Amino acid sequence: QKEVEQNSGPLSVPEGAIASLNCTYSDRGSQSFFWYRQYSGKSPELIMSIYSNGDKEDGRFTAQLNKASQYVSLLIRDSQPSDSATYLCAVNKGTSNTGKLIFGQGTTLQVKP
Amino acid sequence: DAGVIQSPRHEVTEMGQEVTLRCKPISGHNSLFWYRQTMMRGLELLIYFNNNVPIDDSGMPEDRFSAKMPNASFSTLKIQPSEPRDSAVYFCASSLRMDIAGGKETQYFGPGTRLLVL
């Protein structure tokens, strides 16, 4: 079992729809969770972080965390073609919160006009 | 303010040659990370430093890889000798760790070095 798992996609949604990206992790001691966006040929860029169970909203983005189910998700409302990218889920490994991140393989999102 | 700077941006070399990748973290940041990204394996952490000290190098694939951070503003990742399977994009990232616990800080990635070993 991979430490951080994501569906590679591609996930295709029409412009204006809600895109739902999912991530599961294996280390129950993980404390911090991040979503990075990576455009083709570019470097990853942080878009959301979440540390507590529940929802965290920032503009069109909502991160959801369920530690009991070891599940993190990212919702993108009113999806735009500019949201087309690969979304990487990252988990801080272990209870020591040392800053070490484990990344999932990423989910490719395609938003069609 | 300048972000993370990496050089070179592209490197093409022949198998057996030594390759040195360079990174300048964001000024004031105290943690530095080296990652490798390939289609097959995704984004993998190779090594990370805190206050110039290597903390975890468990991701370094083998003895051919070495990394140093002689001061707070410079780090190198060296591959000697290089092999075709080392072809990948190598990212350097930095962050500001504010407390002992850490773990919540944002990592800022450089533009990456695209390495091709023939």
Residues 67-86 of B with CB under 8 A from A: none
Q: Identify which of A47, A88, A46, A53 has the alpha carbon closest to the alpha carbon of residue A70.
A: A53
Cβ pair A59, A4 in contact under 8 A: no
Convert the pLDDT of each residue in B38-53 to its tens digit.
Answer: 999 999 999 999 999 9
Q: Which of A16-20, A91-95, B23-27, B99-103 has the lowest mean pLDDT?
A: B99-103
Helix, strand or coil, per DSSP, at residue B86: helix
Convert the pLDDT of each residue in B62-106 to its tens digit.
Answer: 899 999 999 999 999 999 999 999 999 999 999 987 666 566 788
Percent of chain A with pLDDT over 70: 96
Q: Do B91 and A43 touch (CB under 8 A)?
A: yes
C-alpha–C-alpha distance, residues B77 and A17, integer Å: 43
Out of B42, B95, B104, closest to residue A103 by CB: B42
CA of B25 to nearest chain A CA: how many angstroms apart? 15
- The answer to whether the peptide bond before residue B8 is cis (omega within 30 degrees of 0) is yes
Q: Do B45 and A31 touch (CB under 8 A)?
A: no
Mutate to test the interface with A, among B39, B109, B113, B114 (most CBs of A within 10 A): B109
C-alpha–C-alpha distance, residues B30 and B49, integer Å: 8
CA of A88 to nearest chain B CA: how many angstroms apart? 9
What does chain B look like in DSSP terms, one character per residue? ----EEE-SEEEE-TT--EEEEEEPPTT--EEEEEEEETTTEEEEEEEEETTEEEE-TT--STTEEEEEEETTEEEEEESS--GGG-EEEEEEEE---SSS---PPPEE---EEEEE-
According to DSSP, the residues that pair with B6 across neighbouring strands are B23
Q: Note the pLDDT of residue B86.
A: 97
Is B110 in CB contact (< 8 Å) with chain A?
yes
Q: Do A99 and B102 touch (CB under 8 A)?
A: yes
Q: Identify which of A7, A23, A33 has the alpha carbon closest to the alpha carbon of residue A93.
A: A33
